[in-house]
Structure 1
């Protein structure tokens, strides 16, 4: 259930305003990131983090069930459906914050430093293969002669089942024992390191450049009339994840900074192409988006975990994610820009922010 393609497309189909369309991907991201700094001490006091992940994931699952319920039973009341849809996303997001820190702690404890780039590449490649195949299913479902929103209801149900399976599988990971962190959960410790401050600056600019992401799908639906092609766009987005992973994995051997730079170049190129491509070639935008999201995911996660000393890992990850959550609502700003000046202005603004992001990435130290 890609928030920038499927969920944003669903909101656009419901007639949501540009600001609300921007809110759709912002809710899962901001709700999952902003509260993490408040949870650092609580998570660090637990020797075993996996039980925290399991309990929080149950509430995330409940949020997805709300989406399924609304799409199946509230189609006759679009306003109510939109409200239930946003409430489900909010519940999912809120407990993502609780689940996220334990998730990264378990990965950091279980996976040696030198194997992390390969692990993240494998995760994105596996997820990309599944999303690529799912894209054809999405296209088939949305192409059926079903009354709106039953096609989306089926998509939400299948996505919820997939999340439930992932929750179960990760919950069975063997978590290594580790001493409970004492005295290094103070959020001031990470900020004393120049490398961490440089990392936050780079993520800030690239994050604000991402305000455009849900509006590629909204532009395709509302301006180009390509709603039936959302499944194809999702498949190409996922295919880019798969194909680009070989490149990003090779670059990661030279350090996460090289992957950051490659991803930043694509962040810059994508909105510029969205301005100039003919409608028949607009799918290329989603292909490039998939490639740069894979790059930023691999580089961002690897760089952050390698940057953090073990005794400060929870504080570093929690503070970084809460900081990133501050600009998670940037798509809402993007919606305001679209409403005031149109899609072209948003695409140009995103490109300008990407230039600043590339400048900041070049200043990152190697880790």
Structure 2
């Protein structure tokens, strides 16, 4: 049975107190990552790009899955190696160069192969797949560095503030994307400019996190047990909820594809991105308070509830009101992102953090290819099928999540004198 260790005292410091170097680097990293995420937004930018290329819905679902799932799947395989490292940040710095190179392959291909979509699409897919793989290798060092340098009581605030300020940047990026897509340039040069800006943002994002001063520790020489997390009853409960949320994510890229292909709203993609990111910003103002006051479990349940509602509304709203879908999508993805990351980091014991995080993220990463299933269903039975199935999965996660343990409440009670 895993319990959080009360090794630090509760802090009332502001979530935007950047006086600590490591906290500041992690925060700046998050802001720039949000900026890159906006330019490479899988649910809106990549989905609309693939749709305009004429790709089938299966490929539309594959592109964002390559970024999300690809960054998770390798983690369990690199966990033993990472556990042996005295300073995990060194691996993060080395892999950052490979991540940047894979994105610039995507940028150059989009500029050069615009007149050859039959070549552009496979090169684009391979570039994103390589970036996802390299991200998966560096992801575990990222979480280890956060776990070693950011106290438990500041983690939820860190992730919320990363999303909050990053969301403001993403909101402004929506206007930039809309402006670029309106330029009198041939397709796909406008998208190539967008991807280039995203690659620059990601490059600086990885550079700043690499400046974190991680304290050395004695690396593990014995083999880490990947079966150990499964012996933890509370980890198994969390994993069940996380898996359901990942499968529910099959619908995420198809809100934009539905708007382009069914509602003929391709000119509103920039507006939808702006609304999506503005929703994330405003929601995080609320989510940080919910997480601090009620804990990451409650926030996870809120995200699942909103995720249950959104696919149904997407099928019911008229074209003029379809922007409401992206209001809800921005809100529930922000809630799920903050709550699941914080909950897992708090659940994992310090001496087995790599195995907990690596195993969880690899399993969830494999299931994050669910948008491919969503695309398969959309191609054969229309968008109603994946949207309703996603709603059921989110609803199931909401039901299962009620039995999760409230880790922050336990930690707070143990910190009382």
When normalised by structure 1's length, the TM-score is 0.98
**Contact 2:80–2:223 (CA under 8 A) maintained in structure 1:** no
* Equivalent in the alignment of 2:66: 27
* Equivalent in the alignment of 1:94: 133
* Equivalent in the alignment of 1:167: 206
**Contact 1:233–1:286 (CA under 8 A) maintained in structure 2:** yes
* Equivalent in the alignment of 1:204: 243
Deviations 1:12-65 (A, max 9, x none): 110001111111111112221111111111001001111100111111111110
Structure 1 residue 231: Cα displacement? 1.0
Distance 2:164 2:201 in 1: 16
Structure 1 residue 206: Cα displacement? 1.2
Out of 300, 309, 331, which is 1:291 matched to?
331
Structure 1 residue 4: Cα displacement? 1.2
Out of 31, 46, 50, which is 1:7 matched to?
46
Unaligned runs of 5+ in 1: none
Out of 208, 227, 244, which is 1:188 matched to?
227
Distance 1:52 1:208 in 2: 30
* Residue 58 (structure 1) aligned with residue 97 (structure 2): yes
Structure 1 residue 183: Cα displacement? 4.2
1:1-367 matches, within 5 Å, as: 1-183=40-222, 185-253=224-292, 254-367=294-407
SS in structure 2 opposite 1:64? helix
**Contact 2:345–2:357 (CA under 8 A) maintained in structure 1:** yes
Deviations 1:298-338 (A, max 9, x none): 10011001001100101100000001012111001001110
SS in structure 2 opposite 1:33? coil
Structure 1 residue 232: Cα displacement? 1.0
Number of aligned residue pairs: 367
Aligned CA-pair RMSD: 1.0
Distance 1:66 1:159 in 2: 13
Distance 1:182 1:237 in 2: 46
**Contact 1:240–1:287 (CA under 8 A) maintained in structure 2:** yes
Distance 1:52 1:126 in 2: 27
**Contact 1:181–1:311 (CA under 8 A) maintained in structure 2:** no
**Contact 2:230–2:236 (CA under 8 A) maintained in structure 1:** yes
Higher helix share: 1
Structure 1 residue 180: Cα displacement? 2.0
Structure 1 residue 179: Cα displacement? 2.9
**Contact 1:63–1:92 (CA under 8 A) maintained in structure 2:** yes
SS in structure 1 opposite 2:271? helix
Unaligned runs of 5+ in 2: 1-39, 408-417
**Contact 1:66–1:88 (CA under 8 A) maintained in structure 2:** yes
Distance 1:344 1:263 in 2: 21
When normalised by structure 2's length, the TM-score is 0.86
Structure 1 residue 82: Cα displacement? 0.5
**Contact 2:45–2:269 (CA under 8 A) maintained in structure 1:** yes
SS in structure 2 opposite 1:32? coil
Structure 1 residue 122: Cα displacement? 0.8
Q: CA 1:134–1:248 in 2, change beyond 3 Å: closer, same or farther?
A: same
Distance 1:116 1:183 in 2: 29
**Contact 1:184–1:311 (CA under 8 A) maintained in structure 2:** no
Structure 1 residue 293: Cα displacement? 0.9
